[in-house]
Amino acid sequence: MDGKKREKHKLGVIAQTRMHKNKSGKRFIEIDLLRGLAIIIMIFAHILWDLDYFGILPLNTSTYSVLHKTVAPLFFVLVGISVFAGRTKKQLTTDEEKKYNTRLAVRGLKLFTLGMLLTIASLFVLPERPVFFGVLHCIGLSIVLCVFFLKYRFYNILFAVIILFTGFVFSNINISNPSLLHLLIGIYPSDIWSYTVDYFPIIPWLGFTLLGIAIGDCLYCGNTRKFRLPALSNYTPAKIFSWVGQHSLIIYLIHQPVIAGALYVFVWLI
């Protein structure tokens, strides 16, 4: 009997540990769903751009602009929400905070490195309009910068408003010979898109990330959802979008080569 009790106690401890891991490492389906929706819209926008690039179908610039202005802010807000929701406690000890911030910084640097690899690849594929400071560069650097803003929690909304307003001011400044610093912070020539196909300066895009942190503090503090939600996992479309959102990075990395490669073969065949 004593042996059975010890075994039962051991299994109980293991079960509790697994439950803790699931709770601390859980994903929120609505965040994955929104991220998946953003990825799919982005892919559609890139298909339109590629069709124009290969001379198959002229690009409707107004449609493309609407898609871009919808998807990009959503991406950065979701980054901020995810960064804050990843904190498994409402209040972290100094040691826990240091470890979490270190993980964040490493994660951001990895994304920035991927962005640099894309820059190198674009120098060969699109030498006339390479990626200088694209979405991966900006998301990676924004995550690193979030380390300094996380402690302000909901008050990040103030920093977000300041940065977004500054971005609006910068967008009205036309500079003909910008330095790397100018381009990094968002002061660029009016014809910037003649030189690059992907450009996301820190200002204003960091502002959307900080807005996401403020939203995360309200809705997901302590890695716990603060509102009720229907059982979205029971619906097939939600599961599909959620799956796409969970694999957003790899899909982002491979979608353009796949689309461009398919269109290249299509043009070659006809």
pLDDT exceeds cutoff 60 at 22: no
What's the pLDDT score for residue 148? 93
Helix (H, G, I), strand (E, B) or coil at 199: strand
CA atoms of 24 and 87, how far apart (whole Å): 8
Mean pLDDT confidence for 45-63: 89
> How large is the average pLDDT for residues 30-39?
95
Q: What is the mean pLDDT of residues 29-35?
A: 95
Average of per-residue pLDDT across 214-243: 90
Give CA separation, 78 vs 17, 23, 124, 189, 241, in Å.
Answer: 29, 20, 32, 29, 15
Which pLDDT score is estimated for 20? 32
Which range of 221-225, 245-249, 262-266 scores highest in mean pLDDT? It is 245-249
Least Cα distance to 30 among 231, 171, 169 occurs for: 231
Q: Which residue has the higher pLDDT, 91 or 151?
A: 151
Share of the chain above pLDDT 70, in %: 89
Distance of alpha carbon 118 from alpha carbon 88, whole angstroms: 33
Structure tokens at 1: 């009997």
User: Is the link from the previous residue into 204 a cis peptide, with omega within 30 of 0?
Assistant: yes
Q: What is the pLDDT of residue 236?
A: 92
Distance from chain centroid for Cα 190: 26
Q: In percent, how much of the chain has pLDDT > 90? A: 59
Write out pLDDT tens, residues 153-166: 999 999 999 999 99
Question: Does residue 32 surpass a pLDDT of 90?
Answer: yes
- Looking at this protein, which amino acid is placed at residue 124? F
Residue 116: band (very low, low, confident or very high) from pLDDT cuts 50, 70, 90: very high
Determine the Cα–Cα distance for residues 67 and 244; give it in Å rounded to an integer: 18
CB atoms within 10 A of CB 240: 13
- Tell me the pLDDT band of 198, cut-offs 50, 70 and 90: very high
Which range has the worst mean pLDDT, 6-20, 50-64, 108-122, 141-155? 6-20
Q: Residue 10 — pLDDT band, cuts 50, 70, 90? A: very low
Q: 91-95, 139-143, 262-266 — which one is most confidently predicted on average? A: 139-143
pLDDT of residue 3: 45
**pLDDT tens track for 205-227:** 999 999 999 999 999 988 888 88
Q: What's phi and psi for 199, nearest 5 deg?
A: -145, 115
Q: What would the mean pLDDT of 50-58 be, rounded to a whole number? A: 90
Query: Distance between CA atoms of 108 and 111, rounded to whole angstroms?
Result: 5
Residue 25, pLDDT score? 53
Segment 71-85 mean pLDDT: 93
Interval 229-235 mean pLDDT: 88
Query: Which letter, b or e, does each residue of 35-63 get, where b requires 16 or more Cβ atoms within 10 Å of its Cβ?
Result: bbbbbbebbebbbbbbeeeeeeeeeeeee
Instruction: Give the start-to-end residue ranges of the domains of the chain.
Output: 30-59+228-270, 75-224
Apex CA 227: angle with CA 223 and CA 229, to 5°? 105
Averaged pLDDT score across all residues of the chain: 86
Residue 220: name the closest of 39, 20, 26 by CA: 26
Looking at residues 40-55, what average pLDDT do you find?
Answer: 92
